[in-house]
A and B are shown apart, each in its own frame.
Chain A
Amino acid sequence: MLQEAYIVTKLCGKRTGESYKLRREETGAKMKRRGVFFVAAALFLVLLAYVVPYAVLSGVDAWYGSFLFWAAFGLAAILLNAAITSSWRD
């Protein structure tokens, strides 16, 4: 319990018991929104990997077609992972 209060204090910079609870709920709600956003972003990104090459770029038979798209898609996947994990702490 003490440890929990310490973490919340550290996170929120508040010291009263009531605001611990409030801030903790706010942090929880914020993280939930963040979670929904990143799940949606991941699903959207993966969907693009199927739709764009087959529906949009199927007629582009050159390096700047699906080859470039999938390479950029790979880089976007790295960035997405970096963003999702940026809030991790020990």
Chain B
Amino acid sequence: MGVGLVVFALILYVLVGAGVAVLARGGAGRGMAEYFLWNRSMGGFIGALSYSATTYSAFMLVGLAGLTYAGGVGALGFEMVYFSGLVLVAFFGPRFLLVGKKFGYVTPSEMLGDRYGSRGVAIVAALASCVFLIPYSAVQLAGIGYLLSGVTDGGISFTAGTLVATALAVAFALVAGIRSVAWTDALQVLIMLVTATIAVLLVVSSLGGFGELFGRVAEEHPGALSVPGGGFFSFSVFLGLTLPWFFFSLSNPQVSQRLFMVGTMRNLRRMLLGFLVIGFVYTMVAVVWGFAALVRFPNLESGDLATPSLLSSDLVPPVVGVIVIVGILAAAISTIDSILLTLSSMVARDVYGNSPGGADEGRQLLVGKLVIPVIAVLALLFAGLQLDLIAVLAVSSSAGLLVTVPAIIGAFFWKRGTAAGVLSSIILSGLFVTYLEVTQTRLLGQASGVWGLLAAVLLYVGVSLVTTAPDRKAEEFLGYLRGALKDKGAL
């Protein structure tokens, strides 16, 4: 694929994105809730587009398509189990929304700190998110680097690709905070969804239609349409991949913070259902894309090469290919800028805000803005390590964040939960997961997420039972929710 065409498309994308980001500044007020939460008045429609863009990243068309290529239909099951995890938003979304408004929370870690009556909890939860989400952002950057260098045969280097993506993500986050992130997200999710759908329809049509495609998959690749099939998706692998992703909507603050942004139940419902429709279409597109690559290029060295190979092939007209690349770039950047914004809000609100002299909101906002490029550079450095297996790394980050889930669920359902329980569960289980990932250890054949979650539950419950619960705060928090949920008709 010609470098000139790719560069031209990138310039066009940058110009349109920058224009949208600048326009998003109109009507913006001041303060942390405004900059990071849209003053809790984000609309349901834009919420759905932004939630989708933040959730779905370069992983979908590069990583998930690659997983389909390598492991077959189990990749669809993996993504659909994640998808079904959005039912957690139906249960927890109203809770986040209501306590966020009532107590003025800006970040999910601030909520945990207040609920458990401990600044330490807020700080540790914020830092844990940084530790695991910076690698996750790096994975996105690496995805762009691989893709751009792959489709241009090295014409655009890995480093140049990651640099451009980092600069754009920082710019989109800094221009107007969540307003510029959400509006550029909306633009980007439309680009990524429309381009990918068009491309996959073209490819399937070139291969003779859906019947022919699936017929060839079944005939030429026995086991690709069943699990465990060829063996890639053994049950333990499937469980290890799906468990962290099922809880993604709770464990990942860049999406759970969205629940503070939509101020009404009506908008929350629109955001959830809108996301589900977009997610369903995008998942099916990515999986069919992976199968198409399997039929057309059956002997690739790695699943990560499936998308670049397909985009460079004669099945995709060059112009469409370039637009799809921009779509993948948009998917990655819309995820990274949201992560940057969320992490910076956590550092500003929970780490700086809980330090001596950090109570001033104006200063917190300034710190938040300064932290955005710092986190971006850290992600860029991590991406420079050029680690392989994009999908596995992304999942590892999720496995790390999974250890916060018991504390989040407990905050809403268990009065006896304590700060000591939360701290031990997040710190010790987080270290445990990191150890398992670094040493690539699979105890009893199970992945790190399974053990991390088990350890986090045991520590949270065990330590909470032998320490003193913050009774007054728990009663205030849970007592308010009992009445408010009933009034809102939520479960």
Contact = CB atoms under 8 A, between A and B. Distances in A.
B276 A78 contact: yes
Determine which residue in B210, B228, B491 has the highest number of CB atoms from chain A within 10 A of its CB, and name it: B491
Contact of B80 (A38, A49, A58, A60): A49
Interface residues of A, number: 42
Given A74-B83, A77-B84, A35 B284 contact: no
B87 A80 contact: yes
A46 B84 contact: yes
A55 B342 CA distance: 41
A12 interface: no
Given A31-B486, A62-B214, A84-B87, A78 B225 contact: no
Contact of B77 (A34, A53, A77): A53
A13 interface: no
B76 interface: yes
- A contacts with B: majority SS: helix
A46 B89 CA distance: 15
Interface in B264-284: 264-266, 268-269, 272-273, 276-277, 280, 283-284
Interface in B62-83: 73-74, 76-77, 80-81, 83
B212 to A, nearest CB: 11
B238 interface: yes
Contacts of B266: 88, 90
Contact of A38 (B73, B224, B283, B491): B491
B297 interface: no
11 contacts: A4-B487, A28-B486, A35-B491, A39-B91, A53-B74, A61-B224, A65-B226, A74-B84, A77-B86, A80-B90, A90-B265
Interface of A: 4, 7, 27-28, 31, 34-35, 38-39, 42, 45-46, 49-50, 53-54, 57-63, 65-67, 70-71, 73-75, 77-78, 80-82, 84-85, 87-90
Q: Which 3 A-B pairs have the closest CB atoms?
A: A63-B214, A87-B489, A88-B265
